Amino acid sequence: MADLQQQIAALCPQAEFDSTGEFLLVTVPDAQWHALARALKEQLGFDYLTALVGVDWKETLGVVYYITNSDTQEMIHVKVTTDNREQPMLHSVSDIWAVANYQEREVYDFYGIIFINHPDMRRFFLRNDWVGYPLRKDYDASEKLNPLRLEDEQNEDDTCSWVEDEKGNVARVAGKVFDDDEYVINVGPQHPSTHGVMRYRASLDGEIVKKVDVVSGYIHRGIEKMCESLTYPQTLLYTERMDYMAAHINRHALCLCIEKAMGLEVPRRAELIRLIMDELMRLSSHLLSYGCLTMDQGATTAFFYGFRDRELIYDIFDRTCGARMSMSYATIGGVVADVHPDFIKDVRHACDVIEKNLKEYHKLFTGNVIAVNRMKGVGVLDRADALNYAITGPSGRASGVHCDVRKTHPYSLYNEFDFDEVIRTEGDSMARYKVRMDEMVQSIKILRQACDKFEAEEGNEYIAKVPKMIKLPAGHWYQQVEASRGAFGVYLESDGDPKPFQKPYRLHFQTPCFNLVGIVDLTCKDNMIADLITITASIDYVIPDIDR
Protein backbone atom coordinates (compact mmCIF):
# COMPACT_ATOMS: atom_id res chain seq x y z
CA MET A 1 0.00 0.00 0.00
CA ALA A 2 2.84 2.36 0.82
CA ASP A 3 4.40 1.67 -2.59
CA LEU A 4 1.23 2.55 -4.33
CA GLN A 5 0.87 5.70 -2.29
CA GLN A 6 4.32 6.85 -3.42
CA GLN A 7 3.56 6.05 -7.03
CA ILE A 8 0.34 8.02 -6.95
CA ALA A 9 2.02 10.87 -5.12
CA ALA A 10 4.59 10.99 -7.91
CA LEU A 11 1.84 11.15 -10.50
CA CYS A 12 -0.16 13.78 -8.69
CA PRO A 13 1.59 15.82 -5.99
CA GLN A 14 -1.67 17.48 -4.89
CA ALA A 15 -3.18 14.14 -3.81
CA GLU A 16 -3.82 13.51 -0.12
CA PHE A 17 -3.77 10.02 1.32
CA ASP A 18 -5.48 8.17 4.08
CA SER A 19 -4.55 4.55 4.58
CA THR A 20 -6.46 3.91 7.80
CA GLY A 21 -9.53 2.44 6.12
CA GLU A 22 -9.91 -0.90 4.37
CA PHE A 23 -8.64 0.54 1.07
CA LEU A 24 -6.24 3.37 0.36
CA LEU A 25 -8.18 6.63 0.12
CA VAL A 26 -6.87 9.25 -2.29
CA THR A 27 -8.34 12.73 -2.22
CA VAL A 28 -7.69 14.75 -5.35
CA PRO A 29 -8.78 18.20 -6.48
CA ASP A 30 -11.01 18.06 -9.54
CA ALA A 31 -8.50 19.91 -11.72
CA GLN A 32 -5.97 17.09 -11.39
CA TRP A 33 -8.43 14.23 -11.32
CA HIS A 34 -8.82 13.53 -15.03
CA ALA A 35 -5.07 13.35 -15.61
CA LEU A 36 -4.60 11.15 -12.54
CA ALA A 37 -7.41 8.86 -13.64
CA ARG A 38 -5.77 8.35 -17.01
CA ALA A 39 -2.42 7.65 -15.36
CA LEU A 40 -4.02 5.25 -12.89
CA LYS A 41 -5.49 3.27 -15.72
CA GLU A 42 -2.63 3.40 -18.18
CA GLN A 43 0.39 3.33 -15.88
CA LEU A 44 -0.74 1.56 -12.73
CA GLY A 45 -3.23 -0.83 -14.35
CA PHE A 46 -6.33 0.27 -12.49
CA ASP A 47 -8.55 -0.67 -15.39
CA TYR A 48 -11.77 -1.64 -13.63
CA LEU A 49 -13.96 1.08 -12.17
CA THR A 50 -15.76 -0.95 -9.53
CA ALA A 51 -18.08 1.67 -8.19
CA LEU A 52 -18.89 5.32 -8.63
CA VAL A 53 -20.79 6.81 -5.72
CA GLY A 54 -22.18 10.30 -5.56
CA VAL A 55 -22.34 11.74 -2.03
CA ASP A 56 -23.66 14.97 -0.56
CA TRP A 57 -21.29 16.13 2.21
CA LYS A 58 -23.46 19.16 2.96
CA GLU A 59 -20.75 21.79 2.31
CA THR A 60 -19.81 20.20 -0.96
CA LEU A 61 -20.96 17.45 -3.26
CA GLY A 62 -18.63 14.83 -4.56
CA VAL A 63 -17.99 11.43 -5.93
CA VAL A 64 -16.15 8.42 -4.53
CA TYR A 65 -14.57 6.19 -7.15
CA TYR A 66 -13.64 2.62 -6.25
CA ILE A 67 -11.04 1.40 -8.71
CA THR A 68 -9.55 -2.07 -9.04
CA ASN A 69 -6.45 -3.35 -10.73
CA SER A 70 -7.77 -6.37 -12.59
CA ASP A 71 -4.43 -8.21 -12.44
CA THR A 72 -3.53 -7.82 -8.78
CA GLN A 73 -7.11 -7.22 -7.55
CA GLU A 74 -5.76 -4.30 -5.54
CA MET A 75 -8.42 -1.73 -4.78
CA ILE A 76 -8.19 1.96 -4.00
CA HIS A 77 -10.78 4.65 -3.72
CA VAL A 78 -10.57 8.22 -4.82
CA LYS A 79 -12.59 11.10 -3.45
CA VAL A 80 -13.25 14.14 -5.61
CA THR A 81 -15.34 17.05 -4.39
CA THR A 82 -16.97 19.93 -6.18
CA ASP A 83 -16.20 23.57 -5.45
CA ASN A 84 -19.72 24.59 -4.63
CA ARG A 85 -23.32 23.42 -4.45
CA GLU A 86 -24.81 25.96 -6.83
CA GLN A 87 -23.13 24.90 -10.07
CA PRO A 88 -21.36 21.66 -9.09
CA MET A 89 -19.05 20.43 -11.80
CA LEU A 90 -16.54 17.60 -12.05
CA HIS A 91 -14.55 16.26 -14.94
CA SER A 92 -15.99 13.19 -16.56
CA VAL A 93 -13.95 10.00 -16.64
CA SER A 94 -16.27 8.29 -19.11
CA ASP A 95 -13.55 8.49 -21.76
CA ILE A 96 -11.23 6.51 -19.46
CA TRP A 97 -13.63 3.94 -18.00
CA ALA A 98 -16.61 3.58 -20.32
CA VAL A 99 -18.78 2.34 -17.47
CA ALA A 100 -18.67 5.84 -16.01
CA ASN A 101 -20.93 7.04 -18.81
CA TYR A 102 -24.17 5.75 -17.26
CA GLN A 103 -22.85 6.01 -13.71
CA GLU A 104 -22.17 9.72 -14.11
CA ARG A 105 -25.60 10.19 -15.62
CA GLU A 106 -27.04 8.61 -12.50
CA VAL A 107 -25.03 10.94 -10.26
CA TYR A 108 -26.14 13.90 -12.37
CA ASP A 109 -29.72 12.71 -11.99
CA PHE A 110 -29.56 12.49 -8.20
CA TYR A 111 -27.03 15.15 -7.21
CA GLY A 112 -27.04 17.54 -10.13
CA ILE A 113 -23.29 17.27 -10.54
CA ILE A 114 -22.48 18.20 -14.13
CA PHE A 115 -19.71 16.16 -15.65
CA ILE A 116 -17.57 18.17 -17.98
CA ASN A 117 -16.92 16.55 -21.39
CA HIS A 118 -19.47 13.85 -20.76
CA PRO A 119 -20.94 13.00 -24.19
CA ASP A 120 -24.58 12.68 -23.17
CA MET A 121 -25.54 14.60 -20.03
CA ARG A 122 -29.16 13.52 -19.62
CA ARG A 123 -30.96 12.29 -16.55
CA PHE A 124 -30.82 8.52 -16.34
CA PHE A 125 -33.77 7.48 -14.20
CA LEU A 126 -36.01 10.46 -13.68
CA ARG A 127 -38.02 12.39 -16.25
CA ASN A 128 -36.23 15.23 -17.93
CA ASP A 129 -38.73 17.70 -16.46
CA TRP A 130 -38.06 16.62 -12.88
CA VAL A 131 -37.38 19.52 -10.53
CA GLY A 132 -34.51 19.17 -8.09
CA TYR A 133 -31.99 16.47 -7.31
CA PRO A 134 -33.52 13.92 -4.93
CA LEU A 135 -30.48 12.58 -3.13
CA ARG A 136 -29.21 15.96 -2.07
CA LYS A 137 -29.72 16.49 1.62
CA ASP A 138 -31.60 19.74 1.01
CA TYR A 139 -33.98 18.25 -1.56
CA ASP A 140 -37.54 19.55 -1.47
CA ALA A 141 -39.85 16.56 -1.90
CA SER A 142 -42.96 18.69 -2.07
CA GLU A 143 -45.62 17.44 -4.44
CA LYS A 144 -46.11 20.95 -5.80
CA LEU A 145 -42.71 20.85 -7.43
CA ASN A 146 -43.08 17.37 -8.89
CA PRO A 147 -46.72 16.52 -9.29
CA LEU A 148 -47.74 13.17 -10.71
CA ARG A 149 -47.35 13.88 -14.40
CA LEU A 150 -49.65 12.09 -16.77
CA GLU A 151 -48.49 13.52 -20.08
CA ASP A 152 -45.60 12.23 -22.17
CA GLU A 153 -42.08 13.40 -21.63
CA GLN A 154 -41.21 16.22 -24.03
CA ASN A 155 -38.08 16.52 -26.15
CA GLU A 156 -36.88 13.01 -25.52
CA ASP A 157 -34.35 13.29 -28.29
CA ASP A 158 -32.59 16.31 -26.82
CA THR A 159 -29.33 15.83 -25.07
CA CYS A 160 -26.42 18.05 -24.22
CA SER A 161 -22.85 17.96 -23.12
CA TRP A 162 -20.71 20.45 -21.28
CA VAL A 163 -17.54 20.97 -23.21
CA GLU A 164 -14.40 22.58 -21.87
CA ASP A 165 -12.14 24.50 -24.24
CA GLU A 166 -8.37 25.00 -23.88
CA LYS A 167 -8.80 28.10 -21.71
CA GLY A 168 -10.91 26.15 -19.24
CA ASN A 169 -14.24 27.76 -20.13
CA VAL A 170 -17.12 25.34 -19.95
CA ALA A 171 -20.01 25.76 -22.39
CA ARG A 172 -23.21 23.79 -22.93
CA VAL A 173 -23.54 22.18 -26.34
CA ALA A 174 -26.95 20.84 -27.33
CA GLY A 175 -27.22 17.58 -29.25
CA LYS A 176 -29.70 15.04 -30.53
CA VAL A 177 -29.97 11.37 -29.66
CA PHE A 178 -31.58 10.39 -32.96
CA ASP A 179 -31.88 12.28 -36.22
CA ASP A 180 -35.35 13.11 -37.49
CA ASP A 181 -35.21 10.69 -40.42
CA GLU A 182 -34.17 7.64 -38.40
CA TYR A 183 -36.60 4.73 -38.08
CA VAL A 184 -36.76 4.41 -34.32
CA ILE A 185 -38.77 1.65 -32.71
CA ASN A 186 -39.59 1.30 -29.06
CA VAL A 187 -38.57 -2.00 -27.59
CA GLY A 188 -40.41 -1.72 -24.31
CA PRO A 189 -41.40 -0.54 -21.74
CA GLN A 190 -44.03 -3.21 -22.34
CA HIS A 191 -42.37 -5.84 -24.46
CA PRO A 192 -42.23 -9.61 -24.02
CA SER A 193 -38.45 -9.82 -24.13
CA THR A 194 -37.17 -6.99 -22.01
CA HIS A 195 -37.83 -9.06 -18.87
CA GLY A 196 -39.53 -6.18 -17.17
CA VAL A 197 -40.24 -2.56 -17.78
CA MET A 198 -37.11 -1.68 -19.69
CA ARG A 199 -37.24 0.54 -22.71
CA TYR A 200 -34.85 0.62 -25.59
CA ARG A 201 -35.20 2.99 -28.45
CA ALA A 202 -33.61 1.22 -31.36
CA SER A 203 -32.83 2.92 -34.62
CA LEU A 204 -33.28 0.47 -37.46
CA ASP A 205 -32.11 0.16 -41.00
CA GLY A 206 -34.36 -2.59 -42.28
CA GLU A 207 -33.75 -5.41 -39.83
CA ILE A 208 -30.36 -4.04 -38.74
CA VAL A 209 -30.06 -2.19 -35.45
CA LYS A 210 -28.01 0.98 -35.83
CA LYS A 211 -28.14 2.44 -32.34
CA VAL A 212 -29.81 1.61 -29.08
CA ASP A 213 -30.72 4.26 -26.57
CA VAL A 214 -31.44 2.93 -23.10
CA VAL A 215 -34.33 4.68 -21.36
CA SER A 216 -34.41 3.48 -17.81
CA GLY A 217 -36.28 4.31 -14.66
CA TYR A 218 -39.74 2.92 -15.23
CA ILE A 219 -39.66 1.05 -11.95
CA HIS A 220 -37.18 3.25 -10.16
CA ARG A 221 -38.19 3.33 -6.51
CA GLY A 222 -35.47 5.44 -5.03
CA ILE A 223 -34.26 2.69 -2.73
CA GLU A 224 -31.09 4.61 -1.86
CA LYS A 225 -33.13 7.66 -0.91
CA MET A 226 -35.57 5.58 1.15
CA CYS A 227 -32.73 3.87 3.01
CA GLU A 228 -31.51 7.21 4.28
CA SER A 229 -34.63 7.46 6.41
CA LEU A 230 -34.57 3.90 7.74
CA THR A 231 -32.61 2.23 10.49
CA TYR A 232 -30.04 -0.39 9.50
CA PRO A 233 -32.18 -3.50 10.05
CA GLN A 234 -34.95 -1.85 8.04
CA THR A 235 -32.73 -1.14 5.06
CA LEU A 236 -32.09 -4.87 4.64
CA LEU A 237 -35.59 -5.26 3.28
CA TYR A 238 -34.85 -3.30 0.13
CA THR A 239 -31.83 -5.32 -0.97
CA GLU A 240 -34.17 -8.12 -2.00
CA ARG A 241 -36.22 -5.81 -4.16
CA MET A 242 -33.33 -5.05 -6.45
CA ASP A 243 -32.19 -8.23 -8.13
CA TYR A 244 -34.95 -10.50 -6.89
CA MET A 245 -33.04 -13.39 -8.45
CA ALA A 246 -30.19 -12.68 -6.05
CA ALA A 247 -32.30 -11.78 -3.04
CA HIS A 248 -30.28 -13.76 -0.50
CA ILE A 249 -26.98 -12.66 -1.94
CA ASN A 250 -27.78 -8.95 -1.99
CA ARG A 251 -29.04 -9.11 1.55
CA HIS A 252 -25.95 -11.01 2.55
CA ALA A 253 -23.85 -8.19 1.10
CA LEU A 254 -25.50 -5.47 3.16
CA CYS A 255 -25.33 -7.66 6.28
CA LEU A 256 -21.61 -8.22 5.69
CA CYS A 257 -21.06 -4.50 5.22
CA ILE A 258 -22.88 -3.54 8.41
CA GLU A 259 -21.17 -6.34 10.35
CA LYS A 260 -17.83 -5.12 9.05
CA ALA A 261 -18.63 -1.60 10.23
CA MET A 262 -19.76 -2.89 13.62
CA GLY A 263 -16.87 -5.32 13.95
CA LEU A 264 -19.34 -8.11 14.59
CA GLU A 265 -18.30 -11.76 14.50
CA VAL A 266 -20.89 -14.05 12.87
CA PRO A 267 -21.21 -17.66 14.06
CA ARG A 268 -19.74 -20.10 11.56
CA ARG A 269 -22.94 -22.10 11.34
CA ALA A 270 -24.96 -19.00 10.49
CA GLU A 271 -22.42 -18.08 7.83
CA LEU A 272 -22.73 -21.57 6.35
CA ILE A 273 -26.50 -21.26 6.16
CA ARG A 274 -26.14 -17.94 4.40
CA LEU A 275 -23.66 -19.42 1.96
CA ILE A 276 -25.93 -22.34 1.12
CA MET A 277 -28.78 -19.92 0.54
CA ASP A 278 -26.57 -17.80 -1.71
CA GLU A 279 -25.63 -20.75 -3.85
CA LEU A 280 -29.22 -21.99 -4.05
CA MET A 281 -30.16 -18.52 -5.18
CA ARG A 282 -27.47 -18.59 -7.84
CA LEU A 283 -28.70 -21.94 -9.09
CA SER A 284 -32.25 -20.67 -9.24
CA SER A 285 -31.15 -17.53 -11.02
CA HIS A 286 -29.13 -19.39 -13.63
CA LEU A 287 -32.02 -21.77 -14.22
CA LEU A 288 -34.26 -18.79 -14.82
CA SER A 289 -31.67 -17.31 -17.08
CA TYR A 290 -31.57 -20.54 -19.08
CA GLY A 291 -35.34 -20.48 -19.35
CA CYS A 292 -35.53 -16.86 -20.44
CA LEU A 293 -32.69 -17.11 -22.91
CA THR A 294 -34.25 -20.12 -24.59
CA MET A 295 -37.70 -18.63 -24.58
CA ASP A 296 -36.51 -15.38 -26.08
CA GLN A 297 -35.25 -17.40 -28.97
CA GLY A 298 -38.57 -19.16 -29.35
CA ALA A 299 -37.78 -22.46 -27.61
CA THR A 300 -40.69 -22.27 -25.23
CA THR A 301 -40.39 -25.79 -23.92
CA ALA A 302 -36.91 -25.26 -22.53
CA PHE A 303 -38.33 -22.39 -20.49
CA PHE A 304 -40.71 -24.71 -18.71
CA TYR A 305 -37.94 -27.19 -18.04
CA GLY A 306 -35.90 -24.49 -16.35
CA PHE A 307 -38.86 -23.37 -14.30
CA ARG A 308 -39.74 -26.88 -13.27
CA ASP A 309 -36.46 -27.34 -11.41
CA ARG A 310 -36.57 -23.94 -9.76
CA GLU A 311 -39.60 -25.16 -7.89
CA LEU A 312 -37.35 -27.49 -5.89
CA ILE A 313 -35.25 -24.56 -4.75
CA TYR A 314 -38.27 -22.42 -4.00
CA ASP A 315 -39.69 -25.19 -1.89
CA ILE A 316 -36.50 -25.18 0.18
CA PHE A 317 -36.80 -21.40 0.64
CA ASP A 318 -40.44 -21.77 1.47
CA ARG A 319 -39.83 -24.35 4.18
CA THR A 320 -36.99 -22.50 5.85
CA CYS A 321 -37.78 -18.82 5.27
CA GLY A 322 -41.55 -18.98 4.90
CA ALA A 323 -41.53 -17.24 1.54
CA ARG A 324 -40.66 -18.05 -2.03
CA MET A 325 -39.64 -14.72 -3.48
CA SER A 326 -38.59 -12.10 -0.93
CA MET A 327 -37.23 -14.35 1.74
CA SER A 328 -35.92 -11.75 4.25
CA TYR A 329 -33.75 -14.42 5.79
CA ALA A 330 -30.26 -13.14 6.44
CA THR A 331 -29.98 -10.48 9.08
CA ILE A 332 -27.28 -8.53 10.88
CA GLY A 333 -25.29 -11.11 12.80
CA GLY A 334 -26.67 -14.25 11.16
CA VAL A 335 -30.03 -15.42 9.94
CA VAL A 336 -33.45 -14.72 11.44
CA ALA A 337 -34.36 -18.32 12.29
CA ASP A 338 -32.85 -21.76 12.24
CA VAL A 339 -33.23 -23.95 9.19
CA HIS A 340 -35.98 -26.49 8.63
CA PRO A 341 -35.06 -29.97 10.01
CA ASP A 342 -35.08 -31.44 6.47
CA PHE A 343 -33.07 -28.59 5.05
CA ILE A 344 -29.88 -30.50 4.23
CA LYS A 345 -31.83 -33.44 2.87
CA ASP A 346 -33.79 -31.15 0.57
CA VAL A 347 -30.68 -29.37 -0.62
CA ARG A 348 -28.96 -32.64 -1.46
CA HIS A 349 -32.06 -33.82 -3.28
CA ALA A 350 -32.29 -30.60 -5.30
CA CYS A 351 -28.60 -30.92 -6.20
CA ASP A 352 -29.10 -34.46 -7.46
CA VAL A 353 -32.16 -33.62 -9.52
CA ILE A 354 -30.70 -30.50 -11.09
CA GLU A 355 -27.42 -32.21 -11.87
CA LYS A 356 -29.33 -34.94 -13.68
CA ASN A 357 -31.59 -32.51 -15.52
CA LEU A 358 -28.72 -30.33 -16.68
CA LYS A 359 -27.88 -33.06 -19.17
CA GLU A 360 -31.41 -32.84 -20.50
CA TYR A 361 -31.11 -29.09 -20.93
CA HIS A 362 -27.98 -29.50 -22.97
CA LYS A 363 -29.65 -32.15 -25.09
CA LEU A 364 -32.66 -29.98 -25.70
CA PHE A 365 -30.97 -26.71 -26.50
CA THR A 366 -27.19 -26.41 -26.38
CA GLY A 367 -26.39 -28.47 -29.42
CA ASN A 368 -29.42 -27.47 -31.46
CA VAL A 369 -28.23 -26.19 -34.83
CA ILE A 370 -30.59 -23.21 -34.76
CA ALA A 371 -29.51 -22.27 -31.25
CA VAL A 372 -25.85 -22.48 -32.20
CA ASN A 373 -26.41 -20.33 -35.28
CA ARG A 374 -28.36 -17.80 -33.29
CA MET A 375 -25.79 -17.43 -30.51
CA LYS A 376 -22.32 -18.22 -31.79
CA GLY A 377 -20.40 -15.08 -32.69
CA VAL A 378 -23.39 -12.90 -31.88
CA GLY A 379 -22.83 -9.91 -29.62
CA VAL A 380 -19.13 -10.41 -29.09
CA LEU A 381 -17.70 -8.49 -26.16
CA ASP A 382 -13.91 -8.66 -25.98
CA ARG A 383 -11.94 -8.63 -22.74
CA ALA A 384 -10.87 -5.00 -23.00
CA ASP A 385 -14.44 -3.82 -23.47
CA ALA A 386 -15.68 -6.04 -20.69
CA LEU A 387 -13.21 -4.39 -18.31
CA ASN A 388 -13.87 -0.97 -19.71
CA TYR A 389 -17.59 -1.35 -19.13
CA ALA A 390 -16.96 -3.09 -15.78
CA ILE A 391 -18.90 -6.17 -16.84
CA THR A 392 -18.74 -8.77 -14.12
CA GLY A 393 -20.48 -12.01 -13.35
CA PRO A 394 -21.10 -14.69 -15.97
CA SER A 395 -21.10 -12.12 -18.77
CA GLY A 396 -17.70 -10.80 -17.75
CA ARG A 397 -16.23 -14.28 -17.32
CA ALA A 398 -17.51 -15.24 -20.78
CA SER A 399 -15.22 -12.49 -22.08
CA GLY A 400 -12.26 -13.84 -20.17
CA VAL A 401 -12.25 -11.46 -17.21
CA HIS A 402 -11.24 -12.99 -13.90
CA CYS A 403 -13.95 -11.29 -11.90
CA ASP A 404 -15.55 -13.78 -9.55
CA VAL A 405 -15.64 -11.94 -6.24
CA ARG A 406 -15.69 -15.30 -4.45
CA LYS A 407 -12.14 -15.75 -5.78
CA THR A 408 -10.83 -12.19 -6.13
CA HIS A 409 -11.96 -10.82 -2.77
CA PRO A 410 -13.13 -13.92 -0.85
CA TYR A 411 -15.89 -13.14 1.61
CA SER A 412 -17.98 -15.31 3.90
CA LEU A 413 -16.43 -18.82 3.94
CA TYR A 414 -15.73 -19.13 0.23
CA ASN A 415 -11.99 -19.57 0.63
CA GLU A 416 -12.66 -22.89 2.40
CA PHE A 417 -14.44 -24.31 -0.62
CA ASP A 418 -13.06 -26.12 -3.60
CA PHE A 419 -14.65 -24.84 -6.80
CA ASP A 420 -13.54 -23.46 -10.15
CA GLU A 421 -14.14 -20.07 -11.61
CA VAL A 422 -15.66 -20.72 -15.03
CA ILE A 423 -13.91 -18.56 -17.60
CA ARG A 424 -14.35 -18.61 -21.37
CA THR A 425 -12.70 -16.39 -23.91
CA GLU A 426 -15.10 -16.16 -26.87
CA GLY A 427 -17.19 -13.38 -25.36
CA ASP A 428 -20.24 -14.12 -27.53
CA SER A 429 -23.78 -14.99 -26.50
CA MET A 430 -23.01 -18.70 -26.63
CA ALA A 431 -20.11 -18.25 -24.21
CA ARG A 432 -22.27 -16.30 -21.78
CA TYR A 433 -24.87 -19.05 -21.96
CA LYS A 434 -22.31 -21.79 -21.42
CA VAL A 435 -20.65 -20.02 -18.49
CA ARG A 436 -24.00 -20.03 -16.70
CA MET A 437 -24.58 -23.67 -17.45
CA ASP A 438 -21.13 -24.58 -16.12
CA GLU A 439 -21.52 -22.37 -13.08
CA MET A 440 -24.54 -24.37 -12.09
CA VAL A 441 -22.31 -27.42 -11.88
CA GLN A 442 -19.88 -25.46 -9.69
CA SER A 443 -22.70 -24.26 -7.45
CA ILE A 444 -23.84 -27.82 -6.99
CA LYS A 445 -20.28 -28.73 -6.06
CA ILE A 446 -20.15 -25.93 -3.47
CA LEU A 447 -23.55 -26.89 -2.11
CA ARG A 448 -22.51 -30.51 -1.57
CA GLN A 449 -19.39 -29.44 0.29
CA ALA A 450 -21.42 -26.97 2.32
CA CYS A 451 -23.89 -29.70 3.25
CA ASP A 452 -21.04 -31.87 4.52
CA LYS A 453 -19.59 -28.99 6.52
CA PHE A 454 -22.97 -28.09 7.90
CA GLU A 455 -23.59 -31.62 9.12
CA ALA A 456 -20.20 -31.65 10.82
CA GLU A 457 -21.05 -28.39 12.57
CA GLU A 458 -22.00 -28.63 16.24
CA GLY A 459 -24.62 -26.67 18.14
CA ASN A 460 -27.53 -24.79 16.71
CA GLU A 461 -26.33 -21.23 16.83
CA TYR A 462 -27.74 -19.19 13.97
CA ILE A 463 -27.29 -15.61 15.09
CA ALA A 464 -24.68 -13.67 17.01
CA LYS A 465 -25.47 -11.46 19.94
CA VAL A 466 -26.46 -8.19 18.29
CA PRO A 467 -27.18 -4.99 20.20
CA LYS A 468 -30.79 -3.85 20.01
CA MET A 469 -29.79 -0.45 18.68
CA ILE A 470 -27.31 -0.66 15.88
CA LYS A 471 -24.94 2.27 15.82
CA LEU A 472 -21.98 2.57 13.49
CA PRO A 473 -18.99 4.79 14.03
CA ALA A 474 -18.40 7.59 11.53
CA GLY A 475 -16.76 6.30 8.38
CA HIS A 476 -17.44 4.57 5.13
CA TRP A 477 -17.20 0.93 4.04
CA TYR A 478 -17.51 -0.97 0.81
CA GLN A 479 -18.45 -4.62 0.58
CA GLN A 480 -18.63 -6.69 -2.61
CA VAL A 481 -20.21 -10.07 -3.11
CA GLU A 482 -20.67 -12.23 -6.17
CA ALA A 483 -24.38 -11.96 -6.94
CA SER A 484 -26.05 -14.06 -9.60
CA ARG A 485 -25.28 -11.54 -12.30
CA GLY A 486 -22.00 -10.09 -11.18
CA ALA A 487 -20.27 -8.15 -8.45
CA PHE A 488 -22.78 -6.53 -6.16
CA GLY A 489 -21.29 -3.76 -4.05
CA VAL A 490 -22.59 -1.88 -1.05
CA TYR A 491 -21.22 1.53 -0.15
CA LEU A 492 -22.16 2.50 3.37
CA GLU A 493 -21.35 5.84 4.90
CA SER A 494 -22.21 6.68 8.45
CA ASP A 495 -21.94 10.04 10.16
CA GLY A 496 -21.69 8.40 13.58
CA ASP A 497 -24.90 10.07 14.70
CA PRO A 498 -25.15 9.43 18.50
CA LYS A 499 -28.97 9.60 18.59
CA PRO A 500 -30.85 6.25 19.03
CA PHE A 501 -32.18 4.81 15.72
CA GLN A 502 -29.14 5.72 13.69
CA LYS A 503 -29.74 5.92 9.95
CA PRO A 504 -27.21 5.50 7.17
CA TYR A 505 -25.86 8.80 5.90
CA ARG A 506 -25.45 7.36 2.45
CA LEU A 507 -26.16 3.87 1.22
CA HIS A 508 -25.30 3.09 -2.37
CA PHE A 509 -25.82 -0.19 -4.13
CA GLN A 510 -23.48 -0.88 -6.99
CA THR A 511 -25.60 -3.34 -8.91
CA PRO A 512 -24.18 -5.57 -11.65
CA CYS A 513 -27.14 -5.16 -14.00
CA PHE A 514 -26.63 -1.41 -14.14
CA ASN A 515 -23.31 -2.04 -15.84
CA LEU A 516 -24.69 -4.84 -18.00
CA VAL A 517 -27.22 -2.58 -19.61
CA GLY A 518 -24.37 -0.29 -20.60
CA ILE A 519 -23.12 -2.74 -23.21
CA VAL A 520 -26.43 -3.16 -25.00
CA ASP A 521 -25.66 -0.45 -27.52
CA LEU A 522 -22.09 -1.65 -27.99
CA THR A 523 -22.96 -5.28 -28.63
CA CYS A 524 -26.19 -4.83 -30.58
CA LYS A 525 -24.93 -2.29 -33.06
CA ASP A 526 -25.02 -3.64 -36.63
CA ASN A 527 -26.76 -6.80 -35.54
CA MET A 528 -30.35 -7.71 -36.30
CA ILE A 529 -33.45 -7.13 -34.19
CA ALA A 530 -33.54 -10.84 -33.40
CA ASP A 531 -29.93 -10.57 -32.20
CA LEU A 532 -30.82 -7.68 -29.93
CA ILE A 533 -33.17 -10.04 -28.14
CA THR A 534 -30.58 -12.82 -28.02
CA ILE A 535 -27.88 -10.51 -26.71
CA THR A 536 -29.99 -8.85 -24.05
CA ALA A 537 -31.18 -12.27 -22.95
CA SER A 538 -27.65 -13.62 -22.82
CA ILE A 539 -26.26 -10.72 -20.80
CA ASP A 540 -29.22 -11.42 -18.56
CA TYR A 541 -30.03 -8.33 -16.54
CA VAL A 542 -32.87 -7.89 -14.12
CA ILE A 543 -34.66 -4.56 -14.43
CA PRO A 544 -35.26 -3.75 -10.72
CA ASP A 545 -31.53 -4.17 -10.28
CA ILE A 546 -30.89 -1.40 -12.81
CA ASP A 547 -33.71 0.81 -11.60
CA ARG A 548 -33.11 0.47 -7.84
**In the set 290, 365, 389, 411, which binds other proteins (CB under 8 A)?**
365
- 210 touches 525 (CB < 8 A): yes
* DSSP-assigned letters across all residues of 198-232: -EEEEEEETTEEEEEEEE--TT---HHHHHTTS-H
Window contacting other proteins (CB under 8 A); options: 57-65, 134-142, 303-311, 444-452: 303-311
- 412 touches 256 (CB < 8 A): yes
Whole-number Cα distances in Å, 205 to 16, 183, 187, 394: 51, 7, 15, 31
Window contacting other proteins (CB under 8 A); options: 15-23, 108-116, 292-300, 329-337: 292-300
**In the set 43, 84, 128, 301, which binds other proteins (CB under 8 A)?**
301
The residue among 413 and 528 lying less far from other proteins, judged by its C-beta, is 528
The residue among 191 and 241 lying less far from other proteins, judged by its C-beta, is 191
What value, to the nearest 5°, has the Cα angle with vertex 53 and ends 409 and 61?
Answer: 145
By CB under 8 A, tell whether 209 contacts other proteins.
Answer: no
The residue among 446 and 533 lying less far from other proteins, judged by its C-beta, is 533
The residue among 183 and 501 lying less far from other proteins, judged by its C-beta, is 183
**In the set 207, 342, 352, 420, which binds other proteins (CB under 8 A)?**
207
Window contacting other proteins (CB under 8 A); options: 4-12, 82-90, 91-99, 289-297: 289-297
Minimum separation from the CB atom of position 206 to other proteins (A): 8
Other Cβ atoms within 10 Å of 13 Cβ, number: 8
What is the rounded distance in angstroms from the CA atom of residue 260 to the CA atom of residue 248?
18
By CB under 8 A, tell whether 193 contacts other proteins.
Answer: yes
By CB under 8 A, tell whether 296 contacts other proteins.
Answer: yes
* Interactions with other proteins, residue window 367-396 (CB under 8 A): 368, 370-371, 373-374
The residue among 89 and 529 lying less far from other proteins, judged by its C-beta, is 529
Using omega within 30 degrees of 0 as the cis cutoff, is the peptide bond preceding 189 cis? Answer: yes
Is residue 470 exposed (0-12), middle (13-18) or buried (19+ Cβ within 10 Å)? middle
Which region, left, alpha or beta, applies to residue 296 given φ > 0 means left and ψ of -120 to 50 means alpha? alpha
What is the rounded distance in angstroms from the CA atom of residue 54 to the CA atom of residue 38?
20
By CB under 8 A, tell whether 226 contacts other proteins.
Answer: no
Contacts of 277 (CB under 8 A, 6+ apart): 248, 252, 317, 327, 329, 330, 335
Interface size with other proteins, residues (CB under 8 A):
31
Window contacting other proteins (CB under 8 A); options: 165-173, 251-259, 481-489, 524-532: 524-532
By CB under 8 A, tell whether 401 contacts other proteins.
Answer: no
Number of H helices, E strands in the chain: 18, 17
By CB under 8 A, tell whether 328 contacts other proteins.
Answer: no
Using CB under 8 A, list all residues that contact other proteins.
183, 185, 191-193, 204, 207, 294-301, 304-305, 308, 364-365, 368, 370-371, 373-374, 528-533
